[in-house]
Amino acid sequence: MYCSNCGKQISPNSNFCQYCGLSNNQNQVQINTYQKKNGLNVNHILIGAIVLIICFCIIGGFFYINKNNAGKTIMIYMVGTDLETTAGLASRDLKDLDYQKTHANNINVLIMAGGTKTWKNDYIDSTETSIYELTQSGFVKVNQRQKDNMGDAKNLTYFLNYSYENYKTQKYDLVFWNHGGAVDGSEYDELSGNMITGNDNLKLPEMKTALEESYFNKNNKLEVVSFRTCLNATLEVANIYKDYADYLIASEEVTVGSTIDSALRYINNIQSTDNGINIGKKQIETYKETVTNFCNHDSGQNIAENYCLDITYSLIDLSKIDELNNSLNNLSQDLNSSLKNNYNEISRIRSNLNQYAASEPSYDMIDLYDFADNYSSFSTNSEKVKENINSAVIYNFSNNNYSHGLSIYHPYNSNIFMNTYDKITPSNNYLNYLNNFINLKNNNKSNYVSSFNNKEAIVKETKKETADFEIELTTEEKEKFAKAQYSVFVDTKDGYHKLLYVGKSVKLEGNKLKANVQGKLLRFSDIEYDDDNCWITLVEKEVTDDYVDVVTFPILNRGLNYVNANVTIRIDDKHPNGYITSTIINGNNKNNKSDFSLFSNIGSSIKDYTYITYASQKYKIMDENGNFIPNYAGNGIYTGLVMLTNEFKYIREDFDSEYDYYAVFKIWDTSDNTYYSKVVKMN
């Protein structure tokens, strides 16, 4: 039989053309009628031919069965994008896959690869969107296809159907490799889109369409769908896959790609007898090892479980999602009933919930268990939601206390996904609650609490190395207060101020907002001569009783290769000058839109680069009356210092008499209006 679309011969037992993906119900089959000729009975000829065909089928089938008798087929949908172009992370992840192990374990491994400008290996062709099989010779092309958009659902359908038809196994597992965009889906194709629309990707409804048109359905489910991406352990993603797979493996938080080792190497250890639970645990344990190896490598430590980054990963039983949806529906109905009369409290709680991808708040993803727990005073149904989460999340790892395995979209900073959320919402009542919450937030935006502006801040202590300060709120202000942070500046004695610190650990005690910057400021200095130094900007990441983690933003270069980096420094009693715990290269693939960006968290090391540069700005932060200028960033002057990466250090910066230091509170109300206190001198 020949395909009516592309004209190529296809298997008579196939329901799809393996070349263009056309369904066979659209193909026409021609049936020939044979006649008796020259005294020979055509039936005899047919019988002989059938015997020969059977012999060939037995021999060919022997080889076919040998090729396709594996217990599992693992299908990796790999969109390299800037992760591969920038750092070769896709090639690094594939490098550790071992055919000897997968073959011995009866596992087929296939990848469909595309969506990147350049592959840093010699077997994937960037001008194609082809399929490759892991063999004794490495990855070998088994299905050549022209370049196509990996953000198009038909390519996922093609890959699923090709794998199913050509690799007959008992179980099939699907792995997505790329960026993750939470409720926006994943698989952002670097070669698609433009500067206005951004890269095309697989949206959640498109993923559902791709599965609907494949062999995998309620009666023939995927065993596991796994996201080697950021932010995709969401209830919305689970809802898309609950009818097409048994288990979901994904991360609530941003993930890290490491050049130290491969997070895909768990595939080497999968046995044909492993069920979805075993596979999930192996993947999560391997990811934990990858992060530990990366953190130890950059910090020079050797700690068995060293998690210098916020990391999460969970294994979810998709058969439990419907029950969870029902309980969320009931909780949302109760919240809706309470929303109008309790908006300030409900909004304050939401504004302070821990948010994933905190540096890019437009994603607005929060932990579902944390959400239900914090709103328990408004609904007894919150307990049922938490109970159902514990039932659905079979295995969960996080190095924080608020991640329980499933996140959910709750707009607060932006509403960019609400225009399509009705297509993926887990609950109609939840959708109604979100719409009502957003409308109240917008309507209350005009309720500006002008008294928040220019509040007088008081410095409680002025001793060297100590700078506790606070402001007092009125009863009305406390009612409308949502959250706060503070900034510390240094007067550079030329009419400008340099930003030294952004602190998030502001406490509301009674009616007082309190902050502390004691021992948190650092300078960038020459390893030998302390007089060769400069101020640097630090952003507070985490504060505990034992340590403070801050993030700095240097530029690293090796020859002409310049990269922006986020360097996390830990300050504790043993290391008052701090030490580096992680270096992340910012390969963020901006969509060239103002709404949100994608993450390319690439784990690296300062030691891999030659020079480190801290280029910072100084600003005019006060007007002639001494009031803070909120948009001060528009009048900055660049300054900086360059050093060799093996010849620098950080040193503690104290409040001394040589320079004047100033601080200001930034305050948000429950309608997300922002205010600034008066600037207070710290020394």
Nearest in space to 229 (alpha carbons), one of 320, 110, 115: 115
- Name beta bridge partners: 549: 542, 570
Query: For position 3, what pLDDT does the model report?
Result: 59
Query: For position 193, what pLDDT does the model report?
Result: 74
Nearest in space to 682 (alpha carbons), one of 644, 646, 653, 652: 653
What is the Cα–Cα distance from 395 to 374, expressed in whole angstroms?
A: 23
Query: For position 65, what pLDDT does the model report?
Result: 40
- The helix (H) or strand (E) run that includes residue 551 is strand 547-552
What is the Cα–Cα distance from 1 to 10, expressed in whole angstroms?
A: 6
Residues found in the chain: 683
* 422 φψ region: left (φ > 0), alpha (ψ -120 to 50), beta (else): alpha
Query: For position 637, what pLDDT does the model report?
Result: 74
Query: For position 243, what pLDDT does the model report?
Result: 96
Answer yes or no: are the C-beta atoms of 517 and 663 closer than 8 Å.
Answer: yes
Proportion of the chain in helix, strand, coil states, percent, rounded to 5:
30, 30, 40
Dihedral angle sign, alpha carbons of residues 283, 288, 289, 293: positive
What is the Cα–Cα distance from 506 to 130, expressed in whole angstroms?
A: 53
The residue written with tokens 């919450």 in the block is 437
Structure tokens at 54: 């059977």
Dihedral angle sign, alpha carbons of residues 293, 295, 300, 302: negative
Structure tokens at 391: 């039932």
Query: For position 364, what pLDDT does the model report?
Result: 96
3-class DSSP assignment, residue 246: strand
Supply the pTM of this predicted model.
Answer: 0.86
3-class DSSP assignment, residue 678: coil
Query: For position 125, what pLDDT does the model report?
Result: 95
Query: For position 36, what pLDDT does the model report?
Result: 32
Answer yes or no: are the C-beta atoms of 570 and 579 closer than 8 Å.
Answer: yes
Query: For position 273, what pLDDT does the model report?
Result: 95
Answer yes or no: are the C-beta atoms of 381 and 431 closer than 8 Å.
Answer: no
What is the Cα–Cα distance from 241 to 211, expressed in whole angstroms?
A: 9
pLDDT digits (tens, 9 = 90+) for 72-93: 999 999 999 988 988 899 999 9
DSSP label at 198?
B
Query: For position 453, what pLDDT does the model report?
Result: 82
Structure tokens at 413: 């900073």
The residue written with tokens 């993923």 in the block is 207
3-class DSSP assignment, residue 512: strand
What is the Cα–Cα distance from 660 to 489, expressed in whole angstroms?
A: 9
Cα–Cα distances in Å, from 184 out to 234, 268, 322, 426?
11, 31, 21, 15
CA atoms within 13 A on the CB side of 613: 14
DSSP label at 406?
-
For 411-437, b where at least 16 C-beta lie within 10 A, e where not — what string?
bbeebbbbeebeebbbbebbbbbbbbb
| Dmax (CA) of the chain | 117
Low-confidence ranges of the chain (pLDDT < 50): 19-20, 26-40, 42-46, 49-66, 589-595
Rg (CA), the chain: 29
Structure tokens at 411: 């707009």
Query: For position 462, what pLDDT does the model report?
Result: 59
Query: For position 437, what pLDDT does the model report?
Result: 97
The residue written with tokens 């948010």 in the block is 355
Structure tokens at 4: 């009516």
DSSP 108-169: EEEEEEES-S--SSSS--TTB--EEEEETTEEEEEE--B---TTSHHHHHHHHHHHHHHS--
Answer yes or no: are the C-beta atoms of 501 and 553 closer than 8 Å.
Answer: no
